[in-house]
A and B are shown apart, each in its own frame.
Chain A
Amino acid sequence: MNHSRLEAIGSYLPTTVMGTGELLERLEKAPTFDFVKITGMTERRVADDTAEVPENSLTMAVSAARDSLDRSAYAPQELDVVISCSISRMSDGRRLQFEPSFAHRVAEEIGARDAARFDVSNACAGMMTGVYLLDRMIRGGAVRNGLVVSGEHITPIAFTAAREMDDSRDPQFASLSVGDSAVAVVMDRATDDRDMIHEVELMTCSQYSHLCLGMPSDDTGDIAMYTDNKEMHARERLSLWPSFHSDRLAERGSRFADEGYDFIIHHQVGSRFVDLMNTIGERSFETPMPQSLTVVDKLANTASTSHYLVLHQALAEGRIPTGSKVLMVPAASGVVTGFLSATVSSLEV
């Protein structure tokens, strides 16, 4: 057997809760609108990077890494590699950091002194890309284990949007949908089929790489994100996933219905998006979709951590029975799609 597995998972959520009403009160120019109806998001967590013990992408990533290691069989110094996947590399008082790598800083903080370390950046598919790479590194024998971590202090884009957007059709509209969090997973080689990543396959369709851009604002400053929602979420874009997924399954003579997925986790863009993805999946694969897990309501879209935060919360709530097969479907700017399927039994929160 040559597979990797999710060996442990940990998270960090800021304690500050911001209701959607409170966020919309920050709109400076745009008339208010029913954001809850459009997205299903009633609240999100917001990191406080001005607190005495600041919450930012780095400190949250370190907390999530420690949380995962508390449940892991591995001590920090036994880790072979640390991969950090944040989009929002915010640290040290709203600095957007480019080097050293966040992975280096996390590794130093947690005491993973011998681990190789590097950052992966792939928009909201970042953690999925980190898991994909670590899966291949474990299967290829380059490493025995590793940590994939992402801390997202991403809500500054929501506040930039609130300052700058003109109305609900503004390119910054989607920026209102984000929440802060951090998640970390420890991975190693699978020892049986009770805990195993069966496959993780990813694809970038670069024709659409310009449809969602995150960068500093040249209007009121800080960081911002500009999304062409109409093009990004056009049916043809969304059907990239079932097309790619069914082709990969067909290569080994399988179909979606044959795979026995128990749960499906989509990117947490909003409740309508998750429903739409499930509808498109059902039509394309011609089979009912597995039970859909989300955290959209209370935690919103936490960017690169979203699928793993959903998994973490579902485990915490006891919603995933031992031996469940979980399917994750990324949807990220790039545009990136694909799928990860894993059986989880020993993973506890």
Chain B
Amino acid sequence: MATVITSAALSPADVSGSSIGQAAAAGLVCLGRAGIDAADVDVLINVGVYRDLNIVEPSIAALISKRIGINLDYLHWPDQRAGFSFDLMNGACGMLNAVQAADALLSTGSARRVMVVSADTHPSMDRSRAGTDEFPYASTGAALLLEHTDDDRGFGRVHHRSLPGRHGVNGYLPLREAGPTGRNTIVIDRDDDVLDRMLDLAVDAVLATLAAQNSGTDDTGPVALDRTLLITSQPSPGFAAELAKRLGLAPGFAAQLAKRLGLPADGAVTVDGVHGDPHTSALVHGYKQAQETDQLTGHDRVLFVAVGAGLTSAAAFYRLADDGTRR
């Protein structure tokens, strides 16, 4: 039994700059694709970091659940099935932490379906302030529906690594300096060398994940990267391509390999059409783009890799269906 993506969705482009609205919109599309109702979601996890008005209470997940219609009021709920929601935050790695949390909930029978949503926004909810030098993150959202199934698909173990020292990225609200403008203020400090350090950590994370798979400490068996599609966080537009290059999946390498195997040349997904770093939604953006552009075809697995502030990384293989079709 493994945790499987049974539905994935992105927030529609015309949604407002509200992270709650974007995550809820993505969640509703995700439910529609899966053909299920809000009542069928047992747990909703929100992994978005930058939120409307810098709200810290309640969980943003509870506000998103209300928009989606999940467990509005247990006392007036027809089947007395309770829903639960909470925020899980770890920057760009949060989505994979949530996969790990969802796997624990699914494997212990605590939930049959877990929805993971993400969205980031400038706290002012002004879309023109997103994807800028001051606030590099895109105003966008995404949703994944996760379940356990008996087939061969699904996530392997999520592997984590962290680097001591400088955090690389610091996102915070300086309360004293902001004064009464705290609902519209956010500061993102990025070290000049952060992308290089993130790349180094990402390479380490991939090699460690690969080593764990090949040494049999993971239960999904040995795997090689040559039939693996890399879907990464996108701290810069060229991040995925650069990581692929360092891993020997560069266009030149991939093209040679692809020629021999009769496969498409691109070994890594670079998210297109998003203004800024899709941050906590990056992995779902990459996955959806790969689905829609048929980039999954010919690959046995996806390797999801996220690196973020800390620095921390998370990586996990995702075994695809044999016939190359995915939902």
Of A100, A121, A141, the residue contacting B87 (CB under 8 A) is A121
Contacts of B83 in A (CB 8 A): 203-204, 206
Interface with A: B56-64, B243-251, B253-261, B296-304, which one? B56-64
Interface 0/1 of B63-106, CB less than 8 Å to A: 10110001111110000101111111111011001001101110
Binds B, one of A38-46, A255-263, A328-336: A328-336
Decide: B73 and A117 in contact? CB cutoff 8 A. no
> In angstroms, how far is the closest chain B Cβ from the Cβ of A310?
20
User: Which segment of B197-205, B222-230, B264-272, B306-314 sits at the interface?
Assistant: B306-314
A212 contacts B58, C-beta separation under 8 Å? yes
Q: Contacts A98-B50, A140-B107, A243-B75 hold; do A87 and B63 have CB atoms under 8 A apart?
A: no
Name the segment of B125-133, B139-147, B170-178, B318-326 touching the other chain: B170-178
Cβ B85 vs Cβ A140 within 8 A? no
Q: Given that A93-B176, A140-B107, A221-B178 are contacting pairs, would A215 and B310 also be in contact in the complex, using a CB cutoff of 8 Å?
A: no
Contacts of A205 in B (CB 8 A): 71-75
Q: Are B108 and A140 in contact, with the CB atoms below 8 A?
A: yes
- The residues in A between 200 and 259 inclusive whose CB is less than 8 angstroms from any CB of B are 201-210, 212-223, 225, 236, 239-240, 243-244, 247
A136 at the interface (CB under 8 A from B): yes
Determine how close the nearest CB of chain B comes to the CB of A121; give it in whole angstroms.
4
Answer whether residue B217 sits at the interface, using C-beta atoms and an 8 A cutoff. Answer: no
User: Complex Cα distance A338/B74, Å?
Assistant: 12
- How far is it, in angstroms, between the C-alpha of A196 and the C-alpha of B162 when the chains are bound? 31
Q: How far is the CA of A139 from the CA of B309 in the complex (A)?
A: 29
The total of chain A residues at the interface (CB under 8 A) is 73
Q: How far is the CA of A333 from the CA of B55 in the complex (A)?
A: 12
Which residues of chain A in 123-162 are interfacial with respect to chain B, using CB atoms and an 8 Å cutoff? 123, 125, 129, 133, 136-137, 139-142, 156
Among A89, A203, A216, A333, residue most surrounded by chain B Cβ atoms (within 10 Å): A216
User: Which residue of chain B has the shortest Cβ distance to A219 in the bound complex?
Assistant: B180
Task: Give Cα distance in the complex from A236 to B59, angstroms.
Answer: 21
Q: Is A120's CB within 8 Å of the partner chain B?
A: yes
- When chains A and B are docked, how far (Å) is the Cα of A139 from the Cα of B107? 9
Asked if A121 meets B104 with Cβ closer than 8 Å, knowing A221-B175, A221-B182, A334-B62, the reply is no
Q: With A and B bound together, what is the CA distance between A316 and B175 in angstroms?
A: 36
Q: Which residues of B contact A299 (CB under 8 A)?
A: none
Q: Is B275 an interface residue (CB 8 A)?
A: no
Question: Could you tell me the distance between the alpha carbons of A335 and B83 in the complex, rounded to whole angstroms?
Answer: 11
Contact residues in A for B273 (Cβ distance below 8 Å): none
Given A121-B59, A205-B71, A218-B183, check contact A142 B160 (CB 8 Å).
no
Q: Does B54 contact A (CB under 8 A)?
A: yes
Whether A120 and B88, one on each chain, are in contact in the complex, defined by CB atoms closer than 8 angstroms, is: yes
User: Interface size (B, Cβ < 8 Å)?
Assistant: 72
A221 to B168, alpha carbons, bound, how many Å?
Answer: 28
In angstroms, Cα B65 to Cα A204, docked, is 9
B170: chain A residues within 8 A (beta carbon): 97, 99-100
The answer to whether A244 and B160 touch (CB under 8 A), given A212-B58, A217-B182, is no
Task: Write the nearest CB–CB distance from B66 to chain A, whole angstroms.
Answer: 4
Chain A residue with Cβ nearest B47: A118
Chain A residues with Cβ under 8 A from B71's Cβ?
A: 203-206
- Does A94 contact B171, Cβ atoms closer than 8 Å? no
Answer yes or no: B164 CB below 8 A from chain A CBs.
yes
Query: Are A333's CB and B104's CB within 8 A?
Result: no
Q: A121 contacts B74, CB within 8 Å? A: no
Interface stretch, picked from A27-35, A101-109, A268-276, is A101-109
Residue contact B54 to A239, C-beta cutoff 8 Å: no
Q: Taking each of A108, A115, A121, A219, which has the highest tally of chain B beta carbons within 10 Å of its own beta carbon?
A: A121
A113-B103 contact, Cβ under 8 Å, with A96-B172, A205-B73: no
B61 cross-chain contacts in A, Cβ below 8 A: 122, 204
B53 part of interface (Cβ distance < 8 Å)? yes
- Whether B179 sits at the interface, judged by CB under 8 Å, is yes
Select the residue from A94, A118, A221, A243 with max chain B CB neighbours within 10 A: A118
Instruction: Select one of B56, B87, B104, B164 contacting A214, CB under 8 A.
Output: B56
Shortest beta-carbon distance from B129 to chain A in Å: 16
* Contact status of A121 and B62, CB under 8 A, knowing A218-B183, A333-B57: no
State the Cβ distance, A112 to closest chain B Cβ, in Å.
9
B169 at the interface (CB under 8 A from A): yes
Partner of B59, one of A100, A208, A334: A334
Q: In the complex the two chains form, is B176's CB within 8 Å of A216's CB?
A: no
Which residue on A lies nearest to B64, using beta carbons? Answer: A206
- The distance in angstroms between the C-alpha atoms of A218 and B89, with both chains bound, is 25
Supply 20 A–B pairs (Cβ within 8 Å), ascending by A: A88-B56, A95-B175, A96-B56, A97-B172, A98-B89, A99-B91, A99-B171, A100-B310, A104-B312, A116-B314, A119-B88, A204-B86, A209-B62, A214-B56, A215-B54, A215-B55, A220-B180, A221-B182, A222-B176, A222-B182
Which positions in B face A, CB cutoff 8 Å?
49-50, 53-63, 65-66, 70-75, 80, 82-91, 93-94, 97, 100-101, 103-105, 107-108, 110, 157-158, 160, 162, 164, 167-176, 178-183, 185-186, 308-312, 314
Given contacts A123-B59, A142-B157, 4 further A-B pairs with CB under 8 A are: A87-B56, A87-B57, A99-B171, A209-B66
